[in-house]
Amino acid sequence: MALLIHMNICRFENAALLHRYTNDIKYRVFVTTFARAAQQWFNQLPLAVIGSFREFRSLFLHQFASSRKHRKTELSLFSIRQKEGESLKDYLLRFNTVALEVPSVTQEIKANAFAQGLMDRDFFKLLAKKSATKFDVLLVRAAKYVNMEDAQSSKKEDRGEKRKENKDENPSKNPRMDFKDKKPA
């Protein structure tokens, strides 16, 4: 958000240079670009508080700096945990999404953070037996494990469908007799 605000101000200042606005005009024109929150903020400013466009720009940025998106850190990765019922594949996607936002994080830290966030399931046990110090190596193992899980799941589904088809096609050879109406001989 802060980056977007800075970009908009820079764009405005470039246009103001092109049109040769004075400081007084810059201030008045810039205000016309405000939307809801910025307009409310501006309307609450006391009269004659601002001496120059530079001062106005500084006040504006200070006011809206709190709405900026905070940079992720390595600690952010260690706070990611696999959720109950979440597949390894989904956890991996969620972890990678956050990891992309962490600048200059090492392979080792990513591997450790990912492993620490895993639930105590088969893949975690596999890593406990043979740990991966590099995230790239861990990704390769995880991909193989996910493929194996998908294959097993697919095989179970196929077996379940075949059983259902066999039940539908081959009714029991000896249908049960209803003995309620029969009397013993």
Q: pLDDT for 76-125, tens place per residue?
A: 999 999 999 999 999 999 999 999 888 888 999 999 999 999 998 889 99
**For residue 55, what pLDDT is reported?**
83
pLDDT interval class at 166 (50, 70, 90): low
Domain span holding position 33? 2-67
Percent of the chain with pLDDT over 70: 79
Burial label, 30 (beta-carbon count in 10 A; 0-12, 13-18, 19+):
buried
Residue with tokens 């992720």: 72
Roughly how many angstroms between the first and final C-alpha of the chain, as a whole number?
A: 89
- Asked if 155 and 78 sit in the same domain, the reply is yes
- Asked if 79 and 63 sit in the same domain, the reply is no
- Global confidence as pTM: 0.51
Q: 40-54, 106-120, 130-144, 153-167: lowest mean pLDDT where?
A: 153-167
- Domain end position, chosen among 12, 46, 67: 67
- Asked if 97 and 130 sit in the same domain, the reply is yes
How remote is the C-alpha of 21 from its chain's centroid? 43
Give the CA radius of gyration of the chain: 32
